Amino acid sequence: MNELDRDTELVRVRLQRAVADVEPAPDSLPRLLAAARRRRAPYRRPTFLVLAAAVVVAVFVGVAVSFQTPTPQPASVRPGDYVAAVRDGVVATFDVASGRERGEIARISGGAATELAGDQGRVYAMLSTSEGGRVVEVTAEGQRPIADVRDGRALTAHGGRVAYSDGDHVVVWTGGTRRDMPTPGMRVLDLALSGDGRLALLVERGARAELLLTDPEPSTVDDARAVSTAGCAPLAITGAGQEIAALEAADCTGPGRARVATYAADSGRKLAAGVPFATPPLPPGRVGLSADPQGRTLVSVPGEAQWLVDGPEVLPLPLPCAPAEPCTTLPATF
């Protein structure tokens, strides 16, 4: 090999070595493809971070639920039963036909019950407290406060409404809406509500008692109409569907007999005079009158007697007395 050939071969070898130095490494292509895939794929959080976030959310929700206050459930009264406060704080139901106590439905606290009222299976109570008084709904857990009162009396409930007298005004609750109606110059003895929201007031003005009726859903009692009751005012009143039932003396000149009359709530017209029945003396304010959805009325004189008035029938009922306990001092109520 001459010198020229040696030089040419030497150049060829050096060129081959230079090309070998710039060839890609065996793993170059896989690395390039992986980098391209990472650029195209959306960002994903690491799995352990996702799981940790889910655990935190679950714990937070569990704690929040555990601190929620459950909605008080109203005490339930079966159709055909009436309600009485049989001893301190205990409200029980009784079968109206047999007079047998069915059982305790609630225990109320925070004050002594002074009045009870029922409506559509719900029970309301007025309590005497150290601060004055309180109106509550009786619940399975005890009671749900409705309002504080200063001089509360004449509690009634009908058609989803609750009414009572407080000092010199009458309060009516419909759902969460409160209406205050001044009653200047009147002493409220009893209240009743009709199914369409009319308010009946048995009031004393001076030495005279009278029955007044308002329009539906009143905002004042100034326009209330006086109802003719033929001689003497009722002893107690209650709502009975779209009408007003009134316990009246059968003879205004002599005690010892009474009857349950019915008045149209819209006009005040007497619809039925009622059947007279013998009673002990019935002073206003001490006798309770209530009606059930069937139109029957319960006349309750605490510690003395009570009757179920069902159309022309008047049936004496046993007093609601708890075993080994004195009888209640409050009128029972449907």
pLDDT at 131: 84
pLDDT at 31: 56
What is the C-alpha separation between 227 and 222, in angstroms, rounded? Answer: 15
Dihedral, CA atoms, 211, 270, 282, 169, nearest 10 degrees? -20
Closest CA to 235 of 246, 224, 225, 250: 246
pLDDT at 55: 41
User: Which of left, alpha, beta for 293 (phi over 0: left; psi -120 to 50: alpha)?
Assistant: alpha
List of domains in the chain: 81-317 (2.120.10.30)
Query: Mind listing the pLDDT tens digit of every residue in the chain (334 residues)?
Result: 555 555 566 556 565 555 455 555 555 544 544 554 555 545 455 444 444 444 444 444 443 433 344 555 556 577 779 999 887 788 999 998 888 888 888 888 888 899 999 998 899 999 999 888 999 999 877 789 999 999 999 999 999 999 999 999 999 999 889 999 999 999 999 999 999 999 999 999 888 889 999 999 999 999 999 999 877 889 999 999 999 999 999 988 877 899 999 999 999 999 999 999 999 988 777 899 999 988 999 999 988 899 999 999 999 998 887 666 667 788 999 9
3-class DSSP state of 258:
strand
Is 211 in contact with 229 (CB distance < 8 Å)?
yes
Per-residue CA distances from 146 to 90, 114, 171, 173, 327 (Å): 19, 15, 11, 9, 28
pLDDT at 130: 86
pLDDT at 177: 95
**Exposure string over 172-205, b if 16+ CB within 10 A, otherwise e:** bbeeeeebebebeebebbbbbbbbebbbbbbbbe
Q: 284 φ, ψ to 5°?
A: -55, 140
pTM of the model: 0.76
DSSP character at residue 74: B
What does the pLDDT look like over 254-292, one tens digit per residue?
778 999 999 999 999 999 999 999 999 887 778 999 999
pLDDT at 308: 96
pLDDT at 27: 54
CA 17 to chain centre: 96
Using CB atoms within 10 Å of the CB of residue 114, give its burial: 0 to 12 exposed, 13 to 18 middle, 19+ buried: middle
